[in-house]
Chains A and B, each alone.
Chain A
Amino acid sequence: MDSGALQIWGMRLLFVLLTMLILFFHLLPLNPAPSQWAGPDVLVAMVFAWAVRRPEYVPILLVAGVMLLADMMLQRPPGLWSVLVVCAAEWLKSRERRQRETTFFLEWLTFAGTLIVITILYRTVMVVLILAPGTLVLSLVQVLMTIAIYPAAVGVSFFLFGVRKSAPGDMDRLGRTL
């Protein structure tokens, strides 16, 4: 295997490790009493940040597997949130070429819009199938917190793990332009 493929598989492994780390912190039994506010969904912010920058690091099957594991671990209905995140991530990937020249602010807006749309869909499906989707305030707080930490997720991915958009001159391992 050449260095390019090795790097891609390395980043995929890193993605899985980061997911486990995020789930680990979600599950710490620090305060089992119910709280009035909800923390951000860091996992979704990371998936979207990576999907916009380097689609090859987060292929469909990896996103689906990771999100399904999160659904299982975090007591969500299995499959519903994963399917929404997979669709949204694929949609963001398909826009990746166009987004390459846009500003970060525009990307942030796109992220916020996508997240709001999939959250509304999630809650609608839950209500239609007579599942308790939780209070609206809690969902709203979670969405706002996730939007707020998106720049941090992007920053950490960029500076710590080197997940950046491919520059115009970049070549892939076969020498084609990206």
Chain B
Amino acid sequence: MAKNGTNSEDYTTPLRRLLLAVVILCLLGLFFIWRIDSPRVERFRAAVIDTVIPSFDWAMAPVTATVNIVRDFRSYQRIYEQNQELRRELRQMTAWKEAALQLEQENAKLRDLNNVRLDPRLTYITGVVLADSGSPFRQSVLINVGSRDGIVDGWATMDGTGLVGRISGVGPNTSRVIMLTDATSRIPATIQPSGQRALIVGDNTSAPTIDFLENPDQVRPGDRIVTSGDGDVFPPGLLIGQVAQDPGGRLRTRLAADYERLEFLRVLRDHGARRVSSPSALILPETPPGITDAATAEPQQ
């Protein structure tokens, strides 16, 4: 390096081999440290991304906008069909709107009778999508709000309609949202109207699978899926999507959020969310269920 190895003999010198060995050891060391103590290295990664991405931002926004304009322009070719389709949908929607208004009034009356107070802690912060994961193997996006805006690991993010993902990795100015479609995403959910509990398991496709379902017979395609609030992962009752069945007969989720066009994301403030501080907290609950069961079961015998 120092001698600008222009001579090819340099490549066989011991110094060069030593440098190679040191580099390999450093990289492997970093990899194993990451494997052993993931949260620390991930915090470092968040800090690196937090410094690099905002410097890309000035160019990223216009390039993304240009590509999207070109895509929109292509869709003008089918504008007549789309218009007809939208008119039909609009007629249906007016009917639904009437029904919704009536239900809302009824709901308000009933709430008033019951003295229900909606959870005031669920306020939100809106962020703009800066970048995506950059790799086909990971499904995540980076948004332009971070710890400076009070974002905390583990909070839920939604677009206008449905759940998008979970905050994982917060820098001062940016934070990463692991989407429901990522292969590492597991979200506890309830399927309405049967009330069945299940896990929404991301598998790197646009429709995450529904797993650990008690009784699949009670679930039909078209049922609503909402978060269940189990394990303090998310506040309960956030819309995830609808049940759908793939050709193989497997139950999957048709996500309510529009993943094709994620532009603005809402991060829900949730002060009851479980904080992830140590590596084992990722896997284990605070008190493993087996221990308490055994403790209560033994005195009875």
Contact = CB atoms under 8 A, between A and B. Distances in A.
A174 B205 CA distance: 57
Given A31-B260, A32-B141, A83-B27, A75 B135 contact: yes
Given A30-B64, A132-B184, A134-B204, A74 B23 contact: no
Contacts, number: 160
B11 A27 contact: no
B4 A56 contact: yes
B30 interface: yes
Contacts of A178: 6-8
Given A27-B53, A27-B131, A33 B6 contact: no
Interface of B: 1, 4-8, 11-12, 16, 19-20, 23-24, 26-31, 34-35, 41, 45, 48-49, 52-53, 56, 59-60, 63-64, 67-68, 129-142, 179, 181, 183-184, 204-206, 259-260, 262
B67 A28 contact: yes
Contacts of B140: 75
A74 B282 CA distance: 22
A87 B53 CA distance: 28
B223 to A, nearest CB: 23
B1 A59 contact: yes
A118 interface: no
Interface of A: 4-5, 8, 23-24, 26-35, 37-39, 55-56, 59-61, 64, 68-69, 72-80, 82-83, 86-87, 90, 93-94, 96-97, 129, 131-135, 138, 142, 172-174, 176, 178
Contacts of A73: 48-49, 52, 134
A29 B134 CA distance: 8
- Which of A8, A96, A135 is most buried by chain B, counting CB atoms within 10 A of its CB? A135
A82 B20 CA distance: 12
Given A24-B59, A82-B27, A72 B8 contact: no
Contact of A72 (B11, B23, B49, B184): B49
- The 3 A-B residue pairs with the shortest CB-CB distance, nearest first, are A79-B31, A134-B137, A26-B134
B262 A24 contact: no
A87 B52 contact: no
A176 B7 CA distance: 8
Nearest to B46: A72
